[in-house]
């Protein structure tokens, strides 16, 4: 199976990733295959997500709006995890899950998707937790807009000649 034939579902944590990254993420994923499902999660009624709402409308991304119920409690993360697991169960054709978040809340989700044989590609900012990065097959650090996207290959620290924190330009 060629990489460009992958059937991809994209789940975006809009509260943790600036909308300026959407275009670069889309370009990266389109080189891998077809984007069959694209969903973004957040409180799209809030002022802070107005640019994201516009970005979603312009690019045909489904918005799943979850108002914050209590301070610090993120309904969006939970909705995103539930939808991704539902997709795993109901959409057998999806072989690749792109998780766009800088949040450790998606670590268990990434692990579970991989246990089911799915390819998991994570996209996140430089401060993304190591646990989430490790749970993905591939993690791509989103540089400030205008800079190149850098892929971080999975390195087995036990292998001979492995170098910690390898970063290579895609």
CA angle 43, 125, 38 (to 5 degrees): 50
Residue 60 region, left (φ>0) first, then alpha (ψ -120 to 50), else beta? Answer: left
How high is the pLDDT of residue 72?
59
Domains and CATH numbers, the chain: 3-169 (3.40.50.1010)
Question: What rounded mean pLDDT belongs to the chain?
Answer: 84
Contact 94, 21 (CB under 8 A): no
Q: Where are the beta strands (DSSP E) in 14-129?
A: 33-42, 62-65, 96-100, 119-124
Give pLDDT, residue 65.
87
Q: Which of 89-93, 105-109, 132-136, 153-157 has the lowest mean pLDDT?
A: 153-157
Indicate if the pLDDT at residue 147 is higher than 90: no
Residue matched to tokens 């939970």? 78
Task: Give the pLDDT of residue 75.
Answer: 78
Q: 106-143, pLDDT tens digit by residue?
A: 999 999 999 999 999 999 999 888 999 999 999 999 98
Task: State the DSSP H helix or E strand holding residue 6, giving kind and residue range, or none if neither.
Answer: strand 6-13
pTM of the predicted structure, to 2 decimals? 0.82
Opening angle at CA 75, ends 49 and 119, nearest 5: 90
pLDDT per residue as tens digits for the range 8-42: 999 999 998 999 999 999 999 999 999 999 999 99
Mean pLDDT, to the nearest integer, of 95-102?
Answer: 96
What average pLDDT does range 145-149 have in this prediction? 53
Strand partners, 150: 141, 169
Tokens of 58: 């312009």
Position 89 pLDDT exceeds 90: yes
User: Per-residue pLDDT tens for 66-87?
Assistant: 776 666 567 788 899 999 999 9
């Amino acid at each position: 199976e060629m990489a460009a034939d992958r059937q991809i579902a994209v789940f975006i944590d809009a509260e943790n990733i600036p909308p300026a990254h959407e275009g670069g993420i889309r370009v990266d994923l389109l080189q891998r295959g077809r984007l069959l499902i694209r969903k973004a999660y957040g409180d799209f009624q809030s002022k802070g997500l107005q640019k994201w709402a516009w970005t979603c409308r312009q690019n045909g991304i489904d918005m799943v709006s979850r108002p914050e119920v209590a301070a610090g409690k993120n309904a969006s993360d939970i909705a995103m995890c539930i939808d991704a697991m539902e997709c795993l169960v109901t959409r057998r054709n999806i072989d690749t899950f792109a998780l766009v978040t800088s949040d450790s809340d998606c670590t268990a989700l990434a692990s579970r998707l991989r246990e089911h044989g799915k390819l998991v590609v994570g996209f996140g900012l430089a401060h993304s937790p190591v646990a989430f990065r490790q749970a993905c097959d591939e993690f791509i650090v989103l540089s400030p807009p205008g800079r190149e996207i850098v892929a971080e290959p999975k390195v087995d620290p036990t292998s001979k000649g492995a170098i910690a924190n390898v970063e290579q330009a895609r």
